[in-house]
Amino acid sequence: MQDYDFYIASGGGVTIGGGEMSLQTDFAVALFSECKKMMLNTAIETQGTTPLANYQKLAPVTDTFLFDIKQINSEHHKALFGIGNEGIRRNLEWLVDSGANVIIRMPLVRGYNDSFDAITGAIDYVQKLAKRGNIRRIDMLPYHQLGRKKYERLDMPYPITQDPSYSSEELNQLETFFTQFDFDIRLVRH
């Protein structure tokens, strides 16, 4: 592997993401098993929507799960995504109870999941869950338009007509708001 020395020196490794990688569980387990033989860190990005059995297979070879919580209220989750979040929460709770390292990621999209109740509900849920296991932090990911250029290159209309991005002032207010919680919450700026 060309960058092996860099990965070892930096503590870096291999992250599988894009779409829902846990749908490719057998491939991910095989790849991560080889990574573990080389002493490389492994991580998987997941929405948590696949069957629990997939996470049970992935857990022994995955160092960190980057786990999305998009909407903590199950009814709102169903309205936005077509399914409730009970299975997602079950998978996350199993990972935490099994001792997996988890980083929660919450995409923030204006008007969809950035209300006071949605944000504080998710944070409260994660704080309670963290008492049972190793949730390292919450990364809040404000909406951005980095994907707009891809649509333009593909000559496709961008599906979001109104820009729900946050201003610098709004991001500063969110960061200040997060300091009231006794938990590591990071606002990821793009």
E strands, 56-167, are: 64-68, 101-108, 135-142
How does pLDDT run across 22-38, given as a tens digit for each residue?
688 999 999 999 999 99
Sign of CA dihedral 37, 25, 123, 168: positive
Q: Burial level of 37, CB count in 10 A (0-12/13-18/19+)?
A: exposed
- Indicate the pTM of the whole model: 0.90
Domains and CATH numbers, the chain: 4-187 (3.20.20.70)
Residue 137: name the closest of 105, 100, 90 by CA. 105
| Residue 83 predicted with pLDDT over 80 | yes
Could you tell me the pLDDT band of residue 15, with boundaries at 50, 70 and 90? very high
How does pLDDT run across 120-135, given as a tens digit for each residue?
999 999 999 999 999 9
